[in-house]
Amino acid sequence: MKKTIIMIHGFRGTHDGLSLIAKNMHNASVLIPDLPGFAEGDMLHDYSLEAYVEWLHGYVLSQKLAHPPMLLGHSFGSIICAAYAAKYGNTIDRLILVNPIGAPALKGPRRLLTKLAIFYYWLGKHLPKHIARAWLSSRPSVDIMSAVMTKTDDAQLRAFIRQQHREHFSTFHSPKSVYQGFITSVSHTVQENAPDITNKTLLVAGSLDDITPLEKQKELVTLFSDSTLKVIEGAGHLTHYEAPEKVAALTQAFIKS
């Protein structure tokens, strides 16, 4: 019997970002919805963590699956999935957190960039509508975000990641929704819900991830009741682009274990 995995992408991403992992999943059925506020995702009254969790609960129930699905979240998606598992863990089987946000963004090595990003999104929310989207979607700003997060030295792969971000990073519904979503993403961590999660959990981290450094991931894994940490060497926060085959292989091994 094939397992079903529901994958939740990160901030400003779309379902396309996790498609390379999905293509390498040979023994599972994969569902990847767009998060509310992005691409074809739903619209919410607000974009708080609680609102995302309730949306995900509705999505899981709407699939009417014969057996509880596994849940995989990348980056911001890891925050949502961890909060979901803490509240609705009985509706899912195992939990996979890829590049989990395991430490507060405003206290980590990227805290100054995080503060600048808050101002960037805040300004976008307050600019006139006809200017705001151009400001938030400008190619230089998207390329800077891409360059900061990409760790591979492969020029062809770097160009691919940059193009992916150019195509998908500007599909947010409105300056207000993307601002609220960003504030939620930097105001919460997986850490706060980990002790309440009873589902068997796999954490997948990149050794070069500086959004949540590896030493913080090693601390995070100890907060779960039943968890394992696997590290992909040479990858950063974008393992779904830099090492999708390895993420898929680790996930499939976790399913079989």
Which residue type is seen at 26?
H
Give the number of other Cβ atoms within 10 Å of residue 98's Cβ. Answer: 30
Residue 252 has pLDDT above 90, yes or no: yes
Residue 59 has pLDDT above 90, yes or no: yes
Taking only the tens place, the pLDDT of each residue in 193-249 is: 999 999 999 999 999 998 999 999 999 999 999 999 999 999 999 999 999 999 999
Q: What is the mean pLDDT of residues 16-33?
A: 95
Q: In the structure, what pLDDT confidence band is assigned to residue 129 with cuts at 50, 70 and 90?
A: confident
Which residue type is seen at 128?
P
Query: Among residues 29, 65, 66, 71, which one has the least CA distance to residue 53?
Result: 71
Residue 64 has pLDDT above 90, yes or no: yes
Taking only the tens place, the pLDDT of each residue in 142-192 is: 999 899 899 999 999 999 999 999 999 999 999 999 999 999 999 999 999
Taking only the tens place, the pLDDT of each residue in 90-101 is: 999 999 999 999
Q: What is the mean pLDDT of residues 104-110?
A: 73
Q: Decide: residue 113, CB within 10 A, 0-12 exposed, 13-18 middle, 19+ buried.
A: middle
> Among residues of the chain, what percentage have pLDDT more than 90?
88
Residue 108 has pLDDT above 80, yes or no: no
| CATH code for the structural domain at 3-104+188-256 | 3.40.50.1820
Taking only the tens place, the pLDDT of each residue in 31-43 is: 999 999 999 999 9
Residue 58 has pLDDT above 80, yes or no: yes
Q: What is the mean pLDDT of the chain?
A: 94
Give ranges for CATH 3.40.50.1820 in the chain: 3-104+188-256
- What does the alpha-carbon distance between residue 18 and residue 50 come to, in Å, rounded to a whole number? 23
- Predicted local distance difference test score (pLDDT) of residue 257: 85
Residue 13 has pLDDT above 80, yes or no: yes
